[in-house]
Structure formats: structure tokens, C-alpha cells
A and B are shown apart, each in its own frame.
Chain A
């Protein structure tokens, strides 16, 4: 797990390795271990230096367990930055040591993807899926490959199939929300974000994204109020410390108060009805907090920010105090 101690060590090692003329193999090995533990990624660094490490004599005393983990790590990094030759070499080594292993098979598929052979990769994964029909690893690759190929609809379909079975995968729901947003299907994206909230209710960014998504396709007051509630929750969870949350909140209030807002389904219409539903105090406090944050972090921008807030909330009575 990523404790702050190990993160600082990672940063220090990275700086040392990138700047040194002759890199120390011990540092490289230590960095690779730390990156595995803390799950930090830096594809180019791992690929180049990892490859050098594997070729050097420093690989000999490394115990088997660690050695093959390093092979896997370097292979994945090489695939990510396109060093196909490096990746191929690592994966062949793994395949010869672990024949028939599903982990090695997935890596082989990734190498094929990286080298552009999409159909070959698809065939590899299909074969793996036949032997291990419930493997999460392979199902995820099926989604990734469609995304690589640029086929949004198939990716969505594949991810839906995956999530239909592994319903607890938070990352999967987040990815599906991204895909839907890319495809412009806001309502479905909102559904995915709600699932995310059910899995991780205390994470403020889920509420933030949900609020923003709802706001972007809301047409009547009820829907905007739902968005507003979620943005309030996001604000509470982040203790009012993130400007983006505050901006979204103000945008939502502004949208609700706008005279152009559509009449709500229950017949009441217009700005005054909206203002009855919500507590203007929140918007006022949010604008004050924004002012404070900008004054602390970036005073030059403060004036522009203030103007924007005025623009959004100026029409609403009691919203701003000076």
C-alpha cells in the first residue's frame, strides 16, 4: 500500500535514476519493487530501465518470485509505451517458464495489441476465455481491445457483459460511465455513476460527476434538484476544499434560477419557484468560500473568478453579499 514514506522514496528514486549518467541497478530494482507495491505507473521509465536491468548481470541473484514479477511489470510497461520488442522478449520468457498460464496468455494478447495485430489479439483472448470462462482478467482485456480498436459500441457491449456478472467492480462502472459520456449517452452514464455511489458512497468525486452529468441533460426543475442535492453531498464530503465542486454548485443554482429554465412538471414555473425549493444560503456560502480559496491560492485570478460568480448569481436575490 502507498504510505507517504514509500511515495517520497519513489519520487526520490525516480529523480535519481532519470538524472544519473550511469544508473545503479540496485536503485532500479528498489524502484521496481516500490512501484509494484504502491501501484504507481511510469511506463517509459520502467520500460527502459527495467529492460536494462533484465539484461544486466544484476538479475542473476534475484529470487525467482521477484524475477518473474519484474518480467511481467516490464512487459506491461513496454506495451504501454510501444516498445514491442522488449515486451515480446519478456513475454516469451514468461511463456516458456509458465506454459499454459492465463497470466502469460493475457500478456501475449497485450503484446499483439501493442503491435497492432488486433484480430490476433481477439483470437488469443477468445481462446483463453474458452478455457477460463470466468476470468476477470480476460474479460477486461476484451473491453480494452475494443477501445483500442476505437469501436465504442462494442466496448460498451463487452463492458456491460462484464459488469452483468462482476457487479461489484467499481473501476468497471467508472469506465462504463466514461464510455457512455464519450458516446453522449448521459442518462446511462448517470446510472453507472449511481452504481459507483452505491459501492463507494463516501467518495466525493462520484457525487460531483453525477451532479454534473445530471445537470448537463436536465430539462426540468426536478432533475436539477437531484443534481443539486448530489453536488451538496459532494461539497460536504470534500469539506468545501475543491473549487470544482463549488463552481459546479454555483452553476447548478444559476441554472435553476435562470428565467429560461423550463417549467417544472407540477405546473409551477420560473425562477421564484426554484428559489423556494432551495436554500440560497448555500450558494452564498459557496461563493464566499470560492473567493477565499482563490485569494489564498491564486490572487491574480481572484478578480476574474469574482466576475464569473457575479455573472452566475447576480440575478438571484440575497445570493451575494459584499
Chain B
């Protein structure tokens, strides 16, 4: 393969512009790296789909708790549409009542980390996702840095500052005089890694397994505050208490709005 280190470059001028590189680099380095990364991405996508575990079994009680929170927040949002006396008060009592209120009940604090430790299938799922992300990336990195190091491979058509030289020209011995825009294969690897995402969206459709940013965001969220049920309960409880005992606006002015709408309907043809 292209293990030769300095056969590629033949400079025509002492400094930067117009280096001509051996076409062999193009066919044996540039294209193969891109192709390989693309294919590895496709394989990863399909492999993760094949290995995906089925839907996790959820506890019935847990369902009730999370749905209760949603129902309470919906009540808070839409309480204006139903009558005050009977309906809203009754429902608020259903949630907040000291002894029997749904939101008053002690709930097991389902911390996702604790859940991860106890639930083997979720743990396995997480591990699979991590492995499928880390292993191909590091393998490709090692492959590129082992085989394709020590020579100039490509020229970036956009300007770069000198600070990038260390990162992008790693392994190239002509330091100091060569334009920073001439980069090594490793930088091509990184460029591919970031740029391929768009290509994958096009070819593999939405929801592909390559979108690392989404995965990383998810991990960060989980490391932070998980869906803390106890807190959610307290929040919803307090929010419900705050709603004043006054007829909802929609409910109050229902007649006027009906009259307005009817007038408009009568005017139209």
C-alpha cells in the first residue's frame, strides 16, 4: 500500500503554492480512505439495526406514574376549557389530595444510572451503542495513521492559520516552509468524519445509527439530571395549587365568541 513516506511530494517551488503530487496518492490514499469510511459507516448502521434489542418491558406502575405527570400538566394547560367548580376542583383534588392524591404518593426515584445498573438489557443496549461508535472510529484512526503517515496528501482549498500546522501536518518532516494548507492523511480522516454525516443522512435516511452528535447529547443528558419522578411530582403539585379559582377565560367568554363566529358565518356567502 502507500507506505512509502516521501515518494509523493515533488515540489516545484521552495515555498507553498503549486505543489504537484503523485496521482498515485489520489487513487491509493484519498479515495480509499473516503470509501472505507463511508462503507464502515454503512456497515455500522446495518449492524446496529440487526443487533438492536426489542422494545424494553415497562412496569405498569411506572407507566402510571409518568402518565400521571403528563395528565397533570395537561390539566394545567387546558383547564380553561372546562368548568371550574365541579370539574377542575375535583381533578385537582384527585392529584393533590393529602391522603389519596396521585401526585402525593411516594414514588421510587428512577434514576437512570441506577436503572442502568439493575436492568441488564438496558445496560447491554448502552454498551452496544458505545462499542459500535468507538471501535470502528479508533480502528480506522489506527489504520490511517499506520499506513498513510509521513507524506502530504491533500491541499485544503481554504486558508488555515499556523496553529493548525501541528495537528494537520503531523508526521511530515518538511516543517516551517510548507504551506499549512497541505495536510496529512490524518486530517483527511477527521474531515471525512465530520463531513460524512450529511452524506449518511441522504443515503441512509433519517434515524441512521451514525448520528453521533445525537447520541453524545443523550449521554450528557443522562449523566446530568435524569427523569426525576419525585421532583416532577412535586413540581406539578405546586403548579396545580397555583391556579386561581376563577373561571377559565375560554369558558367565561364562550357566548361572546360564539356570537362573533355566528355573525361572521351569517355575513359570508
A-side residues, CB < 8 A to B, are 132-134, 164-168, 191, 194, 197-199, 201, 207, 226, 228-230, 232-233, 235-236, 239-241, 249, 278-279, 281-282, 285-286, 288-289, 292
Q: Which of B69-77, B219-227, B232-240 contacts A (4 or more CB under 8 A)?
A: B69-77
Say whether B78 faces chain A, with CB atoms less than 8 Å apart: yes
What string of 1s and 0s marks CB contacts (under 8 Å) between B59-70 and chain A?
110011001101
A-B contacts besides A239-B265, A286-B262, A288-B262, 18 pairs, CB < 8 Å: A132-B57, A134-B58, A165-B60, A166-B63, A166-B67, A197-B81, A198-B78, A198-B79, A201-B78, A229-B254, A232-B257, A233-B81, A233-B257, A239-B261, A279-B255, A282-B262, A285-B263, A289-B266
**Can you list 12 A-B pairs with a CB-CB distance of less than 8 A?**
A165-B64, A198-B71, A198-B78, A198-B81, A198-B82, A201-B78, A226-B83, A233-B254, A240-B258, A240-B261, A240-B266, A249-B258
Question: B71 — which chain A residues lie within 8 A by C-beta?
Answer: 167-168, 198
A288 touches B266 (CB 8 A): yes
Given contacts A229-B251, A285-B266, A289-B266, contact A197 B78 (CB under 8 A): yes
B-side residues, CB < 8 A to A, are 57-60, 63-64, 67-68, 70-71, 74-75, 78-79, 81-83, 86-87, 250-251, 254-266
Question: A249 — which chain B residues lie within 8 A by C-beta?
Answer: 258
| CA–CA, A288 and B262, complex, Å | 9
Given contacts A241-B265, A285-B263, contact A165 B258 (CB under 8 A): no
B257 touches A167 (CB 8 A): no
A198 touches B261 (CB 8 A): no
Pick the contact of B258: A166, A198, A232 (CB < 8 A). A232
| CA–CA, A201 and B80, complex, Å | 9
Question: B87 — which chain A residues lie within 8 A by C-beta?
Answer: 191, 194
How far does the Cβ of A27 sit from chain B's closest Cβ, in whole Å?
A: 28
A289 touches B262 (CB 8 A): yes
What number of residue pairs across chains A and B have CB atoms under 8 A from each other?
A: 102
A198 touches B75 (CB 8 A): yes
Question: B74 — which chain A residues lie within 8 A by C-beta?
Answer: 168, 198-199
Question: B86 — which chain A residues lie within 8 A by C-beta?
Answer: 226
Pick the contact of B254: A165, A194, A198, A236 (CB < 8 A). A236
Closest residue on chain B to residue A293 by CB atoms: B265
Question: A233 — which chain B residues lie within 8 A by C-beta?
Answer: 81, 250-251, 254, 257-258
Question: A241 — which chain B residues lie within 8 A by C-beta?
Answer: 265
Pick the contact of A278: B57, B68, B255, B261 (CB < 8 A). B255
Given contacts A197-B82, A285-B266, contact A236 B60 (CB under 8 A): no
Given contacts A134-B57, A166-B67, A226-B83, contact A236 B78 (CB under 8 A): no
A229 touches B83 (CB 8 A): yes
B64 touches A164 (CB 8 A): yes
Closest residue on chain B to residue A292 by CB atoms: B266
Pick the contact of B70: A134, A167, A229 (CB < 8 A). A167
| CA–CA, A164 and B60, complex, Å | 10
| CA–CA, A282 and B86, complex, Å | 25
Closest residue on chain B to residue A286 by CB atoms: B262
Question: A133 — which chain B residues lie within 8 A by C-beta?
Answer: 57, 59-60
| CA–CA, A288 and B71, complex, Å | 40
Question: B250 — which chain A residues lie within 8 A by C-beta?
Answer: 233
Closest residue on chain A to residue B82 by CB atoms: A194
How far does the Cβ of B75 sit from chain A's closest Cβ, in whole Å?
A: 6
How far does the Cβ of B67 sit from chain A's closest Cβ, in whole Å?
A: 4
Question: A285 — which chain B residues lie within 8 A by C-beta?
Answer: 259, 262-263, 266
How far does the Cβ of B83 sit from chain A's closest Cβ, in whole Å?
A: 5
| CA–CA, A260 and B144, complex, Å | 92
Question: B254 — which chain A residues lie within 8 A by C-beta?
Answer: 229-230, 232-233, 236
How far does the Cβ of B88 sit from chain A's closest Cβ, in whole Å?
A: 9
Residue picked from B57, B79, B82, most chain A C-beta under 10 Å = B82
